[in-house]
Each structure stands twice: as structure tokens, then as C-alpha cells.
Amino acid sequence: DTLLVDSLFSVILSANRQNNFDKKSLYSYPCSKEKQLDSLLQKRGAHTLIIPQKGRPVKIESWNVILFRNTVVLHEKKQAEVVGDTLFIENIPVSEYAFSQDYYWMVSDNSVNLADSRLFGLVPQNHIIGKVFLIWFSKEKETGVFKGYRWNRFLKAL
């Protein structure tokens, strides 16, 4: 049997499905969500994902519950499960959760071999290994489209 993984690291067994090994699929949705697939694809990007920061409460909602459940289990080292759309952490239902460390959303532009947070979820700061060598783009926050560019920092080597 094939093991499929959706974009938020939720494992889905492909039971009762026809396997087509000639076609590569990046995403698979549970049978219960397939009827809503059109609306799922249309609403892509409609939610603002709040990246957890240490001590800052994050609201748990139906669209982010799997991502946060996996983060709690893998990195916060707590027992957690999802029942319906509710997250239970150590058998207590929670509507928001304050994480114990800072996390990052990693993005890759390699669409063929997708290996970023869409696949493996949030990354804690202590898991990031690397060294910055270049500031590619720099802009002041909340300055609109045409203002706030830090031209002296564009493509600046560090």
C-alpha cells in the first residue's frame, strides 16, 4: 500500500484507492475532504498563518489544527491528538496554545522536489543550521507597495 502525505504533514493511507504509479501527486486529501476539493483549491491562501513565537498564544482553527498538532508532538514533546476539529493537548481541549520556542516557515522554490514547510511543517529555531551570506531584499514594514525600500541593503553581501 502507498503512504500519501498532505501539505501539512498529515499521513493518509491510500486504502480503497486505485494507485496510479505513472503520475506523481504532491497532495492528497482524505476522502471526507474530496467533495470539498473545489472550494479547498479556490480558498488557497485565504488564511493568514501566524507563525508561533515563544510565549505568544496562537489560535487553533480547523484549517491549522493538523499543522499545530504535529508541531506540538514533534517539537514541544507533548501528547496531542485531533478529534473532529478540536486539538487536545495532554487530554485537554485547547482553542489557543502558547508555544515554548520560536518557529519558522521554510520555503523552497524547487517545485519538482518539494522539501519545505508545506511538507514537513514548522521548524524550531534550534533546528536551523546555516549562515546568511546575502541580503536579497529589504523593505520597511507597512509602507505600501512603492515606499520603504532599503536600497542600500539590496543584494548586500554579509
Query: What does the angle CA 72 – CA 65 – CA 83 come to, to the nearest 5 degrees?
Result: 95
Q: How many separate domains does the chain show?
A: 1
In the sheet that holds 86-89, the strands lie side by side as 80-83, 86-89, 92-94
Max Cα-Cα span within the chain = 58
**In the predicted structure, residue 36 carries a pLDDT above the cut 60:** no
Has residue 138 been placed in a domain? no
For residue 104, give the H/E element and its range.
Answer: strand 103-104
Phi-psi domain of 148 (left: phi exceeds 0; alpha: psi -120 through 50; beta: other): left
pLDDT in tens, 51-77: 999 999 999 998 889 999 999 999 999
Host domain of residue 113: 3-127
Quote the distance between the C-alpha of residue 13 and its chain's center.
20
Q: What is the pLDDT of residue 20?
A: 46
Looking at the chain, the whole-number percentage of residues with pLDDT higher than 70 is 70
Residue 156 maps to a domain: no
Evaluate whether residue 153 is within a structural domain: no
The rounded mean pLDDT for the chain is 78
Answer for the pair 89, 78: CB distance below 8 angstroms, yes or no: yes
Residues across the chain? 158
Domain-embedded: residue 132: no
In a domain, 12, yes or no: yes
CA-to-CA separations, 121 to 46, 95, 103, in angstroms, rounded: 18, 20, 10
pLDDT band at 21 (very low <50, low <70, confident <90, very high): very low
In a domain, 148, yes or no: no
* CA atoms of 115 and 6, how far apart (whole Å): 13
CB-count burial class (<10 Å; 0-12, 13-18, 19+) for 122? buried
Residue 135 domain-assigned? no
Domain contains 83: yes
